[in-house]
Each structure stands twice: as C-alpha cells, then as structure tokens.
Amino acid sequence: MYLSSKTHPAETQKPTDSSALIQDQADSNHLGVNQASHLKEHPVLQQPSNGQTRPPTLFVIFGAQGDLTKRKLIPALYNLAVSHHLPQEFAILGIDGISMNTEDFRDKINRDIQELSSRPIEATIKDWVLDRLYYLSGDFLDPQTYERLKGLLTQINQTHGTQGNYLYYMATAPTFFTEIVQQLGAQGLVEHRKDFSRRIIIEKPFGHDLPSARSLNQSLCEVLDERQIYRIDHYLGKETVQNILVFRFANGIFEPIWNRQYIDHVQITVAETLGVEHRGTYYEKAGALRDMVPNHLLQILAFVAMEPPNAFDPEAVRDEKAKVLRAIQPMNPVEVLQSTVAGQYAAGVIAEQPVASYRTEMDVDPHSLTETFVAMNLSIESWRWENVPFYLRTGKRLPTRMTEVVIQFKSPPLMLFRKTPVDQLTPNVLVIRIQPDEGISLSFGAKIPGPKVQVGTVDMDFQYAEYFGDAPSTGYETLLHDVMAGDTTLFQRSDNVELGWNVVDPIVKVWGSLGSHGIHSYSAGNWGPPEADALLAKDGRRWRNYH
C-alpha cells in the first residue's frame, strides 16, 4: 500500500542504444521494434513524488489482447505514470495468441487509451508508455513460446535497464494458470534471487471450490514460493477499503467501541444494476455466490472484523484476516436453510428502462437455477464479535450500483426521555461507502429546534473526491504499485483463499440439493427477493436500501 515505505535497489542507467539486439529479436518474432535508439526519458518520471525509489520493472501481461488489459491494466499503468509512480526503468511486454507485431500493438493500445480515458491525455506521458510497450504472439501451451519469451525478456531488460525484475500478470482464463507457471519455471524465468525479483499476479477465480483451490495452490507452489504469488482482488484496490484499517486503528474514538458491546450488527452490500452482459457462459458455472462471496465480500468482512495487527506489516495483517475467516464456522444444512437466500432476477425496470430476465440472457439456460443474488447471515465466533450478526448480500439487476459497509450501533436506553414526546431513539449508523461515491458518513441524534424535546437524525459526511480530489482510477493502480514494491498486504494468501471456500462450499452443496425450491425470483430493479428482507426481519432488523 502507498502508506508503507520501502527501499528498492538503486536505480541504474539504461543502455543508450540496444536497437540492434532488439531488432534481431524483432525479425524472428515479427515484433517490428526499431525505436530503441531514441527511447524517451520523461523528466516528470525521473523525480519520485515522495522520495521513494521506484523499483525497475518489466511488466509481462499474458492475455494482452483481452478486455482486462484494455480496460484496466494499461489505463492503470498510464495513471501510475501520470502520478509519478512508475520507475524510469520500466517496460511492458504483452503476450497473446493473436498474430500481431509490436508496432500494431502500440497503435491498438494508443487507440484504447484515447477511447477509455476519462481525462485529457498527457501526450508526452502516453508516448513514454508506448515507447516501452512490446508484443509477442504465441500459444500459451507451446514450449517454443517460452523459449522466444526468454530471449525477448533478455533484450528488453538490457534496453530498459529493468535489472531482471519480471512481473507476470495472468490476465487469462484460469485453465492456463498452472500451465503458464510451469512453462515459466521450465525456462528458469521465475527464479527469485536477492538481486532481482520475479513475481506473478493471478486474477480470480482462485478455483471454483475448496478442492480446486487447494489443487491450484499446490501446483503454483511446486514452482513458486508463496511470497512470489499475488492473488489480486480489485475491490481491495479501492481507497475506502484500505481506509478501513486507517479509520479503525488510527483514530482513538472508534476502536474502543468496535465490538459486541456497542455494535448491533454489520451489513455489507455489493449491488450492481448490470445483468450478466456477455458473461453468461461463465456465470452459469459460477453464480453470484462463487463469483463474489469468497473473494470480495469476505475480504471486506475480514478488514472490518480483524483484530489490530502487531504492526502495519503485510504478514501481520494477513495473519489477522486469516483468524477472522477461521472464526466463521461452516454452516450445517439446517443453518444454510435458515441463514442464506438465493435469488434470480426476472424481467423488470431499471432507471425507467425495461430489462430482460436472467433466463433470456445470452448463453444462459432458459431453465437455469443459477443464482444472481445472495444474502446471508454469518456469525464470527470470537470474543469481539460473539452474537453480532454480519449480513452480506450481493446481486445483479438491483436498483442502484453501490458497495458499502454499514455498522449499526446499539440504541441507547430510552429512560432519560420517558417523560418527553420522544418515543424512540434512532441508533447511530456508520456507513463506509466503497463505490461509486467513496466516503464515510456517521448519523447521530440531535435536538430539533423548538420548545419541545424532539430528536432528529443528522449526518456527518466525508467524501474522498471533495477532500482529496477525484483522481482517475481503475481500482488497479495501488495493487500494481504494491506488487512492484513487493507489498503483499492487499493480496490473498493461500490460506485466506481456502478459508473463504471453506465458508462457501457447504452453502453450494445444500443449494444444489434443493433444485428449483432453492431459488427465489425477484423483479429487476428491486432489492432482491422478499426472503432476503425476511432474513433480517426475523431478527427485528432491516436492510439499508436506496431508491
């Protein structure tokens, strides 16, 4: 995270001209690279913004022609360049099966940046990035691809002075993860030594159940050390998620009341207005539970519920997160029936526009029983959280797009106001908004002006954009920066992944046995099926909804 301070190897001067070396490789791989002799040094990037040395990095993207690269990774790297968070010794190599040379790839990325940028493009920095961009076409399953990759990495490393620091990003289907890592290992391309680093970023899903997650972890650790593996969850790249730690542990007024004595319950909501779009094939296999709960929701829950770590150290933080996940006991079949709800959206209206049902979406079974909505009540068996329910929900085609954490405190006793018109007191509520309008609000009671004693609810509201500016972000900037710096704080460790599936698997098993009786319909544009409201109503509580 940007909060941590790190020391990196001293920056080295890059060679002035390695064009002949690059051109030899270009001829054999159709790269079309011939600009190495006039690589630009951008003066802005030579000055670290906070005195922190940037580690030289060669960023390798497997799946460079995919949507993730286009919409998230390249824009994030561009934003890091604009904000002075990339080193001068930096390069990007994209790998994919589509036949293309480097010049064509640069043209494509240039168009993508122009299309997707929400701010005016800084041409000098864009050109700086493009000058460091290369492409290799090859089959991920073909050993010859990795032989050519090895030679090309050597050439780019020499040209840009990246000091052998290779960062591999798996922007591919999960079926390629193990194969790519094994092929890299066979070529000696993941060797991690004191004088250089080799790291791998893996996108979710990390398996589709507990056995597959264990198998993936085992296969990766046959080639890599755990410290080299960065399992990325873009939700944890959002400033407000990271700010949960600062909010809790850097402010003396909140942590003393962050427990069962003062908190009534916690709600975590991840709501989307979109349907499955073009992801029908994937979604039919995954569903909302597998897609969202073991990673996004449980990771947010862990930040909210964890104990204070001994230090702001990556392993100390991940140890405390693991303790939280370990304290969520897997549900038995009766508890699954009582504490979880699965829903599927039917046709409805969102933002005054009609939308179709899930079963009529592209690549979806017309008789599908896949859930697009999940709600559940989880209990954390610990001293801090005993008898404090954590209500989680996520769904598609809901009324508004938002992610938030709601901390509802217990109501004070009414005794003081028994001889006044006040017949009830509204509990204090702390809301941590993660997206889209990142911020934090706290509601409390205040006297309404006038001769009578009347209590009204008022809000103190903090918005990130108002206080710190609205910098362009894809959610990946902090995460990519942290990998380059070797900071694992915001990434899932293997035990965290398996503990998440340990919570989800029993629910999947019971739902699968219920057939059509286990799925509840809700109209698009509503907050899920009525059974989700009943889940809280039976405890005398209700969801915090927006319209």
| Long-range contacts of the stretch 460-469 (C-beta < 8 A, 24+) | 463/437, 463/438, 463/439, 464/239, 464/240, 464/438, 464/439, 465/437, 465/438
C-alpha dihedral (504, 509, 513, 515), degrees to nearest 10: 40
Contact assessment for residue 407 and residue 268, using Cβ atoms and an 8 Å cutoff: no
Is the Cα torsion angle 464, 469, 474, 480 positive or negative in sign?
A: negative
Structure tokens at 47: 């000055």
The CA distances from residue 219 to 145, 204, 494, in Å, are 21, 16, 12
Structure tokens at 127: 């050109």
The full 3-state SS of 3-16, as one line of letters, equals CCCCCCCCCCCCCC
Cα 422 to its chain centre, rounded Å, is 44
Structure tokens at 257: 């009341």
Pair type for strands 373-378 and 429-435: unpaired
DSSP state of 208: S
Instruction: Give me the residue label for tokens 């079926």.
Output: 175
Q: Is 517 a catalytic residue?
A: no
Instruction: Kindly name the residue from 8, 85, 265, 296 that is annotated as catalytic.
Output: 296
CA 77/CA 344 separation, integer angstroms: 37
Beta-carbon contacts of residue 200 (< 8 Å; ≥ 6 apart) = 167, 168, 169, 170, 181, 184, 190, 220, 224, 228, 229, 230
Instruction: Give me the residue label for tokens 């404090």.
Output: 388
Contact assessment for residue 439 and residue 467, using Cβ atoms and an 8 Å cutoff: no
The CA distances from residue 186 to 149, 150, 223, 248, in Å, are 12, 11, 9, 45
Pair type for strands 390-395 and 263-271: parallel
Contact assessment for residue 427 and residue 257, using Cβ atoms and an 8 Å cutoff: no
Count how many Cα atoms sit within 13 Å of the Cα of residue 60 in the half-sphere of its side chain: 27
The CA distances from residue 330 to 259, 425, 512, 534, in Å, are 22, 36, 16, 22
Q: How many CB atoms lie within 10 A of CB 306?
A: 22
Structure tokens at 350: 């969102």
Structure tokens at 481: 């920066």
The CA distances from residue 321 to 18, 275, 313, in Å, are 47, 31, 12
Structure tokens at 318: 């991940």
Q: Give the catalytic positions in this structure.
A: 296
